[in-house]
Structure 1
Amino acid sequence: MNNNKNKGKGSAGKNSNLLLGIVAVIVIGVAALTFFNGNKAGNTADGSKASVVAATDENGNLVIPVSEITETATFYSYDELDTYMEVLAVKASDGTIRTAFNTCQVCYASGRGYYIQDGDVLVCQNCKNRFKMDDIQVAKGGCNPVPIFDEWKEETDTTITIPKDLFVEAEGIFKSWKN
């Protein structure tokens, strides 16, 4: 039997196996990132909160595609300023889209006054107050997400635009965030 057929190809075979291994690791990593960043509930498989990187326009305004909004809250990160911030958006049972800053009006200074979704409610990670989706952008004051009212944003059939100036005003309520 002639074993010289593959003579000289040993390192090339090892290199191709190494290359295949690297490609497999990259594919698995991309799949994991896609799962965690695309999770519409805003929660990862282990229950921690994940957020979607939102698009901004040339003026630093947050632009949310209406087509992404469902009955499950989506958490959009905003990092155009010195402070990391989040907006949550959800479709209420009446079909309207509701938006709020993802921080609690009472607990924001604790650093843990942000919400994650648990079933059909949002739960403050500081005081554990449970907040119904239909109450987002309706209630003001008390332990609930800071509303972003209609007059503070521009909504079309395809997008919701939240101006950078509103984030500038709200920056203080995110300064202690420990997300």
Structure 2
Amino acid sequence: MGKSSQQIKKAQAAQKSKRRIFTASGVAAILLIIAIIAIKANTGSKSNAVNSGGDLTILKSEVTEVAKFYPYKLGKTKMEVLAIKADDGTIRTAFNTCQVCYSSGRGYYKQEGKVLVCQNCGNRFQADQVEIIAGGCNPVPITEEYKTDDGTNIVIQAEIFEAAKDLFANWKR
């Protein structure tokens, strides 16, 4: 028994509808991927490896103008180091916590273009100034005396994490 022309039209309409749904969901998926890429570009990237105790080693070749965040755990305290390549090509490092707002637990930074923004007070800090400026609402610098550069890696000494542990006591990142 053959299908009537009305049944054929319904079947064709259903196929068009399915194509529209697929197309709409395809567009939504592409937009989601674009949004994720944009967020990564604006907030920096986070290293997947969590360092526990010991020195923290940062591979210099992975550090760019987009801040990279390196998690570190000392006992039960979660900490984070940010590394960024400045316009002059140097790699700058700091603890991802604000020298003023750290006790709030929200005194950490996210990158917006060439600026780091404190998530507690909204202070905007030029990314090129990481490690250069100390005091005020700025990331806590990790200066030359606490790290070594072997040409391939920057190694941050474990002792500085112990000294900075209290800065992360209320940290909520």
Superposed pair shares fold, TM > 0.5: yes
Please name the residue that 2:47 is paired with.
52
Please name the residue that 1:7 is paired with.
none
TM-score w.r.t. length of structure 2: 0.73
Q: Does 1:74 align with 2:68?
A: yes
Please name the residue that 1:92 is paired with.
86
Please name the residue that 2:133 is paired with.
139
Q: SS state of the match for residue 77, structure 2?
A: coil
Distance 1:96 1:77 in 2: 21
**Structure 2 residue corresponding to 1:163, chosen from 123, 148, 157:** 157
**Structure 1 unaligned blocks of 5 or more:** 1-31, 44-49
**Structure 2 residue corresponding to 1:106, chosen from 77, 92, 100:** 100
Cα displacement string for residues 28-80 of structure 1 (whole angstroms, at most 9, x for unaligned residues) = xxxx9xx89xx46545xxxxxx62134659x7111110000101100110124
Q: 1:83 to 1:54 in 2, by over 3 A?
A: same
Is the Cα–Cα contact under 8 Å of residues 99 and 147 in structure 1 kept in the other structure?
yes
Q: 1:90 to 1:143 in 2, by over 3 A?
A: same
Once superposed, what is the RMSD of the aligned Cα atoms?
Answer: 2.1
Q: 1:126 to 1:152 in 2, by over 3 A?
A: same
Identity fraction in percent: 53
Q: 2:80 is aligned with what amino acid?
A: E
Q: 1:95 is aligned with what amino acid?
A: G
Report deviation, 1:165: 1.1
TM-score w.r.t. length of structure 1: 0.70
Matches within 5 A, 1:19-58: 39=40, 42-43=43-44, 51-54=46-49, 56=51
Is the Cα–Cα contact under 8 Å of residues 40 and 74 in structure 1 kept in the other structure?
no
Distance 2:148 2:139 in 1: 19
More helix by share: 2
Q: 1:51 is aligned with what amino acid?
A: K
Distance 1:155 1:56 in 2: 18
Is the Cα–Cα contact under 8 Å of residues 85 and 174 in structure 1 kept in the other structure?
yes
- Shifted more, 75-84 versus 118-127: the winner is 75-84
Q: 1:40 to 1:122 in 2, by over 3 A?
A: same
Q: Give the paired residue count.
A: 137
Q: 1:53 is aligned with what amino acid?
A: N
Q: 1:41 to 1:157 in 2, by over 3 A?
A: farther
Cα displacement string for residues 155-178 of structure 1 (whole angstroms, at most 9, x for unaligned residues) = 121001111111011000000011
